[in-house]
Amino acid sequence: MSRSVRDVEKIAEEYLSKLSSNGEIREIIARLEISRREPHIEPTCSIEEVGRAFYSLVDSSIEKFSYVDTSSLIIRPLKEIVIEEKDVENVWSLAAPDEDPHLALIAKYGDNRGAYVRVRSGSKIGPVRTCYVTKLTGTVQLVHNVYVVEDDAELQVLSTCTSSRDALDIYHISLTEVIVGRNSRFTMIMYHNWNETTKLWSSLRVSAGPESRIVLIYVTHSPIEKAYDQVIVRLSENASATSSSVIYGRRGRYHTETTTILEGRNASSILISRMLSAEKARIESVSKIVARGEGSRGHIECLGVPLDDSSIITSVPILEAHRTDVQLSHEAAIGKFSEEEITYLTTKGLDENEAMQLLIRGFVSIDLEEVPPTLRKVVERIVDELVRRSAV
């Protein structure tokens, strides 16, 4: 249920006032309340521009956006939408500012920085590029995005988040709300490439209308201090979703939670996670399917490979059935590549490093059949880089 901007800020302020003992939240608030003069920095991302429609945010204030066809697509800074009170029923409709301290920070201090993207009924748009960059040491980047896909429409999004190697002690805190109409399609590729002093908190909320299709792909291969990624997808009648995540964790803590709630009749979901860990990384992946709709069905596949003995992988698949006529299943496994596999490949003329790269590539492979060709090439390049780094 959407709330007015004033109500959201008031709820957030009251909630944050109760968290005086939370040291990290106090530190973030102190940073946000210190005004600083920011130099003008042009937005740049780590992979080349894809598509003519884009939105970018550098640090906490420099926003740019561009699009071509106003009859089928709207891209604007969310702040402008809120000020003009247009389509605000979709802002804070899938999350509440008192659910979590990070959401409260976005509501009180975020100033509605982020992208507002709306695709008109009957239109097919993509790819739209969104880019979030941190370049200043000590930055707290608060982001709130809203995507609306009307009935019988399609939107493809490539979202890139990255930080400069010179920007130390970064916080990136984001909320993305996605509202998808009847018989519509939403595809999002999310690529995170941070430096190892970054602290990340991210929540993606999706509401999928009847007969709709959701495809989500998340890839990260960079060291990070700590990362929390949350995905919550609600599916209506005959709606379906596939969520795939590939994490190569190094020298940091990674926690992902992906939940799909099968609310409608014959709703279906597949959750796939691939985890590689090294260099004292700690990875925890929680995958959950809640089946409430008649005849709903879902499957979870969680696989992890530790690349050394210093890292830890935890995989938690959860199935929750509220009816007798649902079908839920899961597969979970953690284990390193066998010596027999490596030996076999070396007998075919590969050296040990080439053999490891081949095994890793097979392990992290994602089904890209539903991904549009332009975005498919981007994912393939990201996976190539992940394989190269993890096999070194």
Summarised one tens digit per residue, pLDDT across range 279-322 is 999 999 999 999 999 999 999 999 999 988 999 999 999 999 99
Task: Identify the band that residue 178 occupies on the pLDDT scale cut at 50, 70 and 90.
Answer: very high
pLDDT, tens only, 20-64: 778 889 899 988 877 444 444 444 554 444 456 889 999 888 888
The pLDDT, as a whole number, for residue 41 is 46
Domain housing 193: 5-336
Residues linked to residue 156 through DSSP beta bridges, in sequence order: 187
DSSP string, 246-257: EEEEESSEEEEE
pLDDT, tens only, 322-350: 999 999 999 999 988 877 877 888 887 88
Quote the CA–CA distance of 274 and 277 in Å, as a whole number.
Answer: 10
Task: Identify the band that residue 361 occupies on the pLDDT scale cut at 50, 70 and 90.
Answer: confident
The pLDDT, as a whole number, for residue 69 is 64
Helix and strand totals (H; E) in the chain: 7, 19
259-273 mean pLDDT:
97
pLDDT at position 392 over 90: no
369 located within any domain: no
343 located within any domain: no
Percent of the residues in the chain that have a pLDDT greater than 70, as a whole number? 93
46 located within any domain: yes
Indicate the pTM of the whole model: 0.90
390 located within any domain: no
127 located within any domain: yes
In whole numbers, what is the pLDDT of the chain averaged over residues? 89
DSSP string, 132-177: EEE-STT-EEEEEEEEEE-TT-EEEEEEEEEE-TT--SEEEEEEEE
224-228 mean pLDDT:
95
Task: Identify the band that residue 275 occupies on the pLDDT scale cut at 50, 70 and 90.
Answer: very high
Question: Is the pLDDT higher at 383 or at 390?
Answer: 383
67 located within any domain: yes
Secondary structure of residue 112 in the 3-state scheme: coil
pLDDT at position 386 over 90: no
pLDDT, tens only, 197-213: 999 999 999 999 999 99
89 located within any domain: yes
Give per-residue burial for 356-376: e unless 16+ CB within 10 Å, then b. bbbbbbebbebebeebbeebe
164 located within any domain: yes
Of the candidates 191, 146, 283, the one whose C-alpha atom is nearest the C-alpha of residue 228 is: 283
The pLDDT, as a whole number, for residue 237 is 98
Secondary structure of residue 358 in the 3-state scheme: helix
Question: Is the pLDDT higher at 386 or at 247?
Answer: 247
Task: Identify the band that residue 87 occupies on the pLDDT scale cut at 50, 70 and 90.
Answer: confident
263-290 mean pLDDT:
95
Number of domains in the chain: 1
